[in-house]
Structure formats: structure tokens, C-alpha cells
Amino acid sequence: MLNENLGKLIENYENRYRLVTDIAKCARKVSEAAQANGDILVEKSVSVAIDKLAKEKNL
């Protein structure tokens, strides 16, 4: 299942490589924060990162 926000992000990034690296960095931070807090992520960290980046870009 394709995340709706991913399509919006692809349109607004000049470079797909930059998009992938930004998502990976954000996903790593989300995963580390959840682990530090003892939280269990129901959703994949990559999906959370895509949604978070889309929110930051106001998409």
C-alpha cells in the first residue's frame, strides 16, 4: 500500500535521493526515540517519517 504523502513529497523534492535520505534520517530518529521511551511502534518508522516530513512541508 502506497502512502499518499509519499506521492506529494516526490512532487515537491527536486531529487529523489535527497528525499530517501531525509526519510531514512527521520525514520532512524523516530525509531531511536521510541526505543528510548520504551514505546512500541504500531506503524513502521518509515511510514511515520513520511507523514512527519509531509506535515513539516505543509502538504
Q: Looking at 2-44, list the stretches that DSSP marks H as alpha helix, in order from N- to C-terminal side.
A: 4-12, 16-37
Beta-carbon count within 10 A of 13 CB: 15
CA distances from 21 to 17, 39, 57 (A): 6, 24, 16
Please state the pTM of the whole predicted model. 0.84
Domain ranges of the chain: 4-56
Confidence tier at 58 by pLDDT (50, 70, 90): confident
Helix (H, G, I), strand (E, B) or coil at 13: coil
Confidence tier at 1 by pLDDT (50, 70, 90): low
Confidence tier at 4 by pLDDT (50, 70, 90): confident
Could you report the per-residue pLDDT of 9-51, keeping only the tens digit for each? 888 888 999 999 999 999 999 999 999 999 998 999 999 999 9
Supply the Cα-derived Rg of the chain in whole angstroms.
12
